[in-house]
Chain A
Amino acid sequence: MEKLIQEYAEKLPEKIISDIIENMPAGTAAAKQKKIFEAVYNEYRSSLAEPGESVGILSAESIGEPSTQMTLNTFHLAGVSEVNVTTGLPRIIEVLDGRKTMAATNMEIHLKSPYSEGKDVTVVASQLRETPFESFVNELDINITNASITAKVDVKKIEDAGSDVKKVIKLLEKGVKGYKFSEEKGIITIKAAKEDNINDLYKVKEAIKDIYVCGIKGLKQVIPVKRDDKYVILTSGSNLKDVLKLEFVDETQTVTNDIFEIEKHFGVEAARQMVINEINKVLDNQGIPIDVRHILLVADAMTSSGSVLGINRYGIVKEKPSVLARASFETPIKHLVSAALTGEVDTLNSVIENVMMNQPVPVGTGLPNLVTKGIMNPDHHHIAKEDKKAKAK
């Protein structure tokens, strides 16, 4: 068996070999084993895609055709109105577009034991949520006589959230410049450093409400959810960098659906995997069967340049070598003009240019060429001569 595995390791993909090992009944005779490997290898060989197969078009069709059946609606995660989840066609478009800003970012934060078993999940979750100053304030007034703002804060609440009043004041100072903050018995007084008019004070009063004091920036809403015996925290908004720093977070499983964030922190291979996962998630959700190979190819096409490119005129299409292929997609004039300036040469290597020229396309049966000695008709001899002359020049 070992020998066989070694022998076929080069010929068969890992997955198939492990499948064979898994399914091989115990005590199979060596001769039978060899036969099985042989049979699987033959089957594998006959299932290989042929050279010239235009797999790109195949993938595009496989994803494009069922996309008409997907739903348009975005859903609220488990019915909670603040947590939006983009699914269906809009999500597919978003992912394939390579959009930097997304309609709804979400994280799925996995926890380490014992939190994952449910210990203090709600507390942990509330520590994650981005909390503005407003939620710690009991009273917020403007004292017109001495032109100051007084805020009565709930000190205990602040401390519960893992912070203290001094830290809060520091953050506030950062948020609104040119104001002095002082604290006494849970009352924060805010005064202008210089002379100030009351109108500005009103603005400051509104501004400090939204200043974030604790939690993780960007996580607008957090919901602990039980999933297969384990608690995970779903969030609206995303901040991978800060979340992964937390010690109770299982950094091996925690993910965000923001592909660019993934790319930034984990590199392009991770981003590629994310593209695949995200598309698969939508397709599973919609119950549309598409083979992974198509999604792999799209993801590879998007990321093979080393960074995530969208499937649009600013991404993949822009990188095409052929002028006509770019021009045939969108903004043709722009491409023609810039091609003229740089004296670009279109070598007609891809499909669309040859369609335009009415020539066979270089895929499938158009790929093979035949070199023969032609019989030149004497009537046309002068043309050949002229050709030679032109070449000599």
Chain B
Amino acid sequence: MVEDFIHKKVGSIKFGIMGPQFIKKMAHAKVVTPELYDKEGYPVDGGLMDVRMGVIDPGLKCKTDGLKLKETPGYFGYIELARPIIHIKFVELVLDLLRLTCKDCGRILIPETKIKEIKDELDQISKYGSDAERRNYLKEVVAGLKTIVKCPHCSTKQLKVKIEKPTTFLEDEKRISPIEIRNRLEKISDSDLEVIGIDPVMARPEWTVLTVLPIPPVTMRPSITLESGERSEDDLTHKLGDIVRINQRLFENINAGAPEIIVEDLWDLLQYHVTTFFDNEVSQLPPARHRSGQPLKTLTARIKSKEGRIRHNLAGKRTNFSARTVISPDPKLEINEVGVPRVFAMKLTVPERVTEWNMEYLRGFIERGVDEYPGANYVVRPDGRRKRITDETREQLLEELEPGLTVERHIMDGDVVLFNRQPSLHKMSMMCHRVRVLDGHTLRLNPAVCAPYNADFDGDEMNLHVPQTEEARAEAEILMQVQTQLISPRYGLSIIGCNQDAISGNYLLSQKDFKVSREEAVDILMAIGETEFSRLPNKKEVTGKEIFSVLLPTDLSFSAPNKNYKVAPEDPESTVVIKKGELTQGVLDKNNLGDGSGLLLRQVHKLYGPEKTVVFLGKIYRLGIEILYRLGFTTSISDTDLTVEGEKQVKKLVDDAEKKVQQYIKDYEDGKLEVLPGYSAKETVELRILEALNKARNDAGEVVTDTQIHSNTTDMIKSGARGNIINMAQMSAVVGQQDLRGGRVNKGYQGRTLSCFEQGDMGSKAHGFIKHGFKDGLEPSEAFFMAMTGRDSLMDTALRTPKSGYLYRRLANAMQDLKIEYDFTVRDASKKIVQFAYGEDGVAVAKSEGGSINVKKIIAETINA
């Protein structure tokens, strides 16, 4: 079936200035009175709210097209200005033209021969150069002209033209009236204008001096009716009212033959009003204000800035069929699923076209209707009319149902939706998920996809969008689904992997001594959605590795070091070995399962593709968590206990460091300290102290590692699930030196940081060394130093966010047009070549391995094959 729409595309937009004839031609009403409404509240004919310019009241009809409110686009009107008025936005141009052209003959002040030269050059540029080059050349031409004093065509001496901002032009201290200006501009010939880059067809210069002012349609300046029934007009209407009023007065005064001075004053006032109508933020003029004192928002303010038309309404779009609420985790979901609350599913719909073959199926949805899930909300006819399904309409709609209609049915499991979290900093901030309709009131996602969204569950909210056309769904599925986004285009490694509990769980599972009964193993596999147990060895007790192996592809062979390899390379458990789909050796941890390098995941992705990887990842993720469910996993304060021996060692370390510091200070004071090259003595001592104290903290960390008692916390650290040894050391041993702006804490009072220290005290304690651990508790001064660095980092974040945001906006704006063309060159919007091959070799980062092609691996594989 062929749709009877004609799809039209905007091909190009030409810019220009509206001349008086044009304005009158496009206008549908001439405005002659500042009044808005008559006594009945009906818009006055010839007033600013004239119904020929569109309607904003229900019940009225536009006289131009006969359409009602919200249907009529609105039409322009115009007013005839009593005297010409200079358009504030073209003042610069007018000034340039007055200076560049002869006041007598209107020719441009360039000799005939040179005009030709310039024109030729311009032709060359427009043929081969860019618009920007053309603009620059024109600027040069104009700049080189300003010193000529005698017209080369008629030899008239030129007087110096000055501008008194904003809109007064002076020639030899005498004012040039806008009438005179307009006359001069009219005299400039079309061919001369081309020399200075003005298109005489689109922009005759005299049009910049207004004789007729277009009145924007009523629909773009609607009035608001307040609760009291009073009408509050739009700022533009206010401003236009002023203009019309003064214009009428000026007319009357001129006709009555009033003295020149009165006419001049009114003329200036009219100029002021028209100027502020266009731009209420002209620096030399006081802004026009409301009676309350707040400045009016006129045309310029409507267009510019973030809240203006361009960035807010044109570049920013809004959607229907979207939802937003708090998110929460659910590892039982697949990685590429999203849990949608039923109440959402009953509001969000997918249009489904009725055909002979699905009619019965869709009939069921209509029968269930709005209140029953899965139902449908609307039936749409081919002409675009929508009918809501209610108890009254249902019967009729069912009867009328025929191929060609569209049923908007509730979203169901497996439907394609887009899921997004702000700030949407990269393309993985908006991915395509499959719907899973669930009980509850939050949107649910697998915690493995937290990383790309940068989400956590402390109250984060996320958005959901339902694509409404087949094209949109196809694109979403093929280009945006989670499995297609596994490899980050930023650095070519995976950004989705196991995290936190999933790593801890698999770490514990793959320990050498992990054994469960076969029954329990089957139970575990069932719980994570694996129903194929035949690969589980048929014996009474199975090991964790055997359970894990069930999930592996049968032909996978793989070997890689884990986190422990660096510490104990000789330990066989430090190398993960998989032989023909069987995990034979090694403890799984972040190096193999996590995001980033995630070696095992990367291998699976490479060999089996994204689809399988996502399924595999989902399973091992759930497996990790299931193991923790069964084992129980918690962290306690006693995990941070040190052994007696450890405590002794830490104490000694700290004491030694402090002694060393004292020694440095003493040396410094005696002038015995050996000064480092390029540093002063003071800087040297600071550096030495810092070095000694940081060493103490690092050594303490080692002591903690060496003496710690095995606990869940250490398991988390070892597996890379969460936390590191420094966190641990800070809790149980020493917090260490607080770093403020690249050094020890040196701010505060004169000669000291806090009033509890003596002036000139250079000791460790007085400059932010915290010798206690968090578990022991901090001294008041120590807590204060912590708070100082804490505050400093908060400030840093607060100042950084807008800066990096602006940088990002600029980058995105500058680079958005660069794309790879069919000839594999990178070009910008004007087809100018930026790179001959993308990244010099044409390789896409997301398709590579960490940004390059792993030649070594290919060679090894080919040779072994």
Considering the complex, which residues of chain B in the window 732-749 have a beta carbon less than 8 Å from any beta carbon of chain A?
A: 741-743
Which A residues are CB-close (under 8 A) to B823? 51
Considering the complex, which residues of chain B in the window 384-429 have a beta carbon less than 8 Å from any beta carbon of chain A?
A: 425-427
Is residue A58 within 8 Å, beta carbon to beta carbon, of the partner chain? yes
The 8 Å CB contact of A32, one of B801, B851, B863, is B863
Q: Which residue of A is nearest B492, CB measured?
A: A291
Q: State which of B52-60, B374-382, B434-442, B810-818 sits at the interface with chain A.
A: B810-818
Which B residues are CB-close (under 8 A) to A89? 800, 803-804, 807
The docked-state distance in angstroms from the alpha carbon of A19 to that of B6 is 55
With contacts A44-B853, A79-B679, A300-B835 taken as known, whether A350 is within 8 angstroms of B814 at the C-beta atoms is: no
Contact: B863 with A62, CB < 8 Å? no
Which A residues are CB-close (under 8 A) to B819? 52-56, 362-364, 367
The docked-state distance in angstroms from the alpha carbon of A73 to that of B792 is 11
Which A residues are CB-close (under 8 A) to B817? 56, 320, 325, 349-351
With contacts A293-B839, A379-B4 taken as known, whether A60 is within 8 angstroms of B808 at the C-beta atoms is: yes
A291-328: CB near B (< 8 Å → 1, else 0) gives 11110111011001000000110011111111111011
The 8 Å CB contact of A336, one of B2, B15, B844, is B15
Is residue A346 within 8 Å, beta carbon to beta carbon, of the partner chain? yes
Is residue A280 within 8 Å, beta carbon to beta carbon, of the partner chain? no
Q: Which residue of B is nearest A360, CB measured?
A: B9
B839-862: CB near A (< 8 Å → 1, else 0) gives 111111101100101011011011
How many A residues touch B, CB cutoff 8 Å?
Answer: 121
Considering the complex, which residues of chain B in the window 180-232 have a beta carbon less than 8 Å from any beta carbon of chain A?
A: 197-199, 201-203
Contact: A328 with B199, CB < 8 Å? no
The docked-state distance in angstroms from the alpha carbon of A358 to that of B269 is 41
Q: State which of A33-41, A130-138, A250-258 sits at the interface with chain B.
A: A33-41
Q: Which residue of A is nearest B863, CB measured?
A: A32
Is residue B13 within 8 Å, beta carbon to beta carbon, of the partner chain? yes
Which A residues are CB-close (under 8 A) to B4? 377, 379-380
The 8 Å CB contact of A65, one of B203, B426, B799, B800, is B426
Which A residues are CB-close (under 8 A) to B2? 375, 377
Contact: A24 with B832, CB < 8 Å? no
Contact: B310 with A332, CB < 8 Å? yes
Considering the complex, which residues of chain A in the window 348-387 have a beta carbon less than 8 Å from any beta carbon of chain B?
A: 348-353, 355-359, 362-365, 367, 375, 377, 379-380, 383
Is residue A339 within 8 Å, beta carbon to beta carbon, of the partner chain? yes
Contact: B839 with A348, CB < 8 Å? no
The docked-state distance in angstroms from the alpha carbon of A328 to that of B837 is 29
Contact: B203 with A341, CB < 8 Å? yes
Is residue B143 within 8 Å, beta carbon to beta carbon, of the partner chain? no
Contact: B847 with A317, CB < 8 Å? no
The docked-state distance in angstroms from the alpha carbon of A75 to that of B858 is 44
The 8 Å CB contact of A67, one of B804, B826, B858, is B804
Is residue B304 within 8 Å, beta carbon to beta carbon, of the partner chain? yes
Is residue A186 within 8 Å, beta carbon to beta carbon, of the partner chain? no
Contact: B490 with A36, CB < 8 Å? no
Contact: B829 with A350, CB < 8 Å? yes
Which A residues are CB-close (under 8 A) to B16? 340, 343
Is residue A23 within 8 Å, beta carbon to beta carbon, of the partner chain? yes
The docked-state distance in angstroms from the alpha carbon of A23 to that of B851 is 18
Contact: A356 with B315, CB < 8 Å? yes
Is residue B796 within 8 Å, beta carbon to beta carbon, of the partner chain? yes
Which B residues are CB-close (under 8 A) to A79? 679, 683, 686-687, 743
The docked-state distance in angstroms from the alpha carbon of A62 to that of B845 is 11
Contact: B310 with A64, CB < 8 Å? no
Closest chain-B Cβ to A231's Cβ sits at a distance in Å of: 11
Contact: A60 with B844, CB < 8 Å? no
Contact: B202 with A343, CB < 8 Å? yes
Q: Which residue of B is nearest A49, CB measured?
A: B844
Is residue B824 within 8 Å, beta carbon to beta carbon, of the partner chain? yes
Closest chain-A Cβ to B822's Cβ sits at a distance in Å of: 5
Is residue B830 within 8 Å, beta carbon to beta carbon, of the partner chain? yes
The docked-state distance in angstroms from the alpha carbon of A311 to that of B14 is 27
Is residue B130 within 8 Å, beta carbon to beta carbon, of the partner chain? yes
A270-302: CB near B (< 8 Å → 1, else 0) gives 000000000000000000011111101110110
The docked-state distance in angstroms from the alpha carbon of A25 to that of B864 is 12
Which B residues are CB-close (under 8 A) to A16? 841, 853, 855
Contact: A328 with B314, CB < 8 Å? yes
Is residue A165 within 8 Å, beta carbon to beta carbon, of the partner chain? no
Which B residues are CB-close (under 8 A) to A63? 808, 811
Is residue B360 within 8 Å, beta carbon to beta carbon, of the partner chain? no
Contact: B310 with A348, CB < 8 Å? no
With contacts A68-B425, A339-B15 taken as known, whether A328 is within 8 angstroms of B315 at the C-beta atoms is: yes
Contact: A61 with B859, CB < 8 Å? no
The 8 Å CB contact of A50, one of B17, B315, B844, B851, is B844
The 8 Å CB contact of B12, one of A20, A71, A345, is A345
The docked-state distance in angstroms from the alpha carbon of A375 to that of B4 is 9
The 8 Å CB contact of A68, one of B132, B475, B687, B800, is B800
Contact: A60 with B812, CB < 8 Å? yes
Closest chain-B Cβ to A320's Cβ sits at a distance in Å of: 7
Contact: B203 with A342, CB < 8 Å? yes
Contact: B820 with A55, CB < 8 Å? yes
Is residue A2 within 8 Å, beta carbon to beta carbon, of the partner chain? no
The 8 Å CB contact of A328, one of B90, B311, B679, is B311
Is residue B89 within 8 Å, beta carbon to beta carbon, of the partner chain? yes
Contact: B679 with A80, CB < 8 Å? yes
Contact: A345 with B815, CB < 8 Å? no
Closest chain-B Cβ to A331's Cβ sits at a distance in Å of: 8
Which A residues are CB-close (under 8 A) to B17? 340-341
Which A residues are CB-close (under 8 A) to B757? none
Is residue A30 within 8 Å, beta carbon to beta carbon, of the partner chain? no
Which B residues are CB-close (under 8 A) to A52? 819-820
Contact: B838 with A92, CB < 8 Å? no
Is residue A344 within 8 Å, beta carbon to beta carbon, of the partner chain? yes
Which B residues are CB-close (under 8 A) to A291? 489-492, 839, 845, 851
The docked-state distance in angstroms from the alpha carbon of A362 to that of B197 is 30
Considering the complex, which residues of chain A in the window 175-226 have a beta carbon less than 8 Å from any beta carbon of chain B?
A: 223-225
Which A residues are CB-close (under 8 A) to B567? none
Is residue B10 within 8 Å, beta carbon to beta carbon, of the partner chain? yes
Q: Which residue of A is nearest B311, CB measured?
A: A328
With contacts A44-B843, A48-B824 taken as known, whether A348 is within 8 angstroms of B13 at the C-beta atoms is: yes
Which A residues are CB-close (under 8 A) to B315? 328, 352, 355-356
The 8 Å CB contact of A297, one of B15, B805, B815, is B815
The docked-state distance in angstroms from the alpha carbon of A45 to that of B615 is 27
Is residue A162 within 8 Å, beta carbon to beta carbon, of the partner chain? no
The docked-state distance in angstroms from the alpha carbon of A324 to that of B859 is 51
Q: Which residue of A is nearest B743, CB measured?
A: A79
A residues adjacent to B (C-beta < 8 A): 13, 15-16, 19-20, 23-25, 28, 32, 35-36, 39-40, 43-44, 46-68, 70-73, 75-76, 78-81, 89, 92-93, 96, 122, 223-225, 289-294, 296-298, 300-301, 304, 311-312, 315-325, 327-329, 331-333, 336-353, 355-359, 362-365, 367, 375, 377, 379-380, 383
Q: Could you pull out 22 A-B pairs where Cβ atoms are within 8 angstroms?
A: A19-B855, A40-B858, A50-B820, A51-B823, A51-B824, A53-B838, A55-B826, A57-B818, A64-B808, A89-B807, A298-B815, A317-B814, A319-B130, A325-B829, A332-B304, A333-B303, A340-B15, A345-B13, A351-B817, A365-B475, A365-B479, A379-B4
19 extra interface residue pairs, beta carbon distance < 8 Å, beyond A13-B840, A312-B814: A36-B862, A48-B842, A48-B847, A49-B838, A49-B847, A60-B816, A61-B425, A63-B808, A63-B811, A65-B425, A122-B677, A223-B677, A289-B490, A291-B492, A293-B845, A319-B130, A346-B12, A346-B13, A348-B11
B residues adjacent to A (C-beta < 8 A): 2, 4, 6, 9-17, 89-90, 93, 130-132, 135, 197-199, 201-203, 279, 300, 303-304, 308, 310-311, 314-315, 317, 425-427, 475, 479, 489-493, 677-679, 683, 686-687, 741-743, 796, 799-801, 803-805, 807-808, 810-824, 826, 828-830, 832-835, 837-845, 847-848, 851, 853, 855-856, 858-859, 861-863
Q: Which 7 pairs across A and B sit closest by C-beta, in order of nearness? A: A343-B199, A56-B818, A293-B839, A64-B808, A343-B202, A56-B815, A350-B829
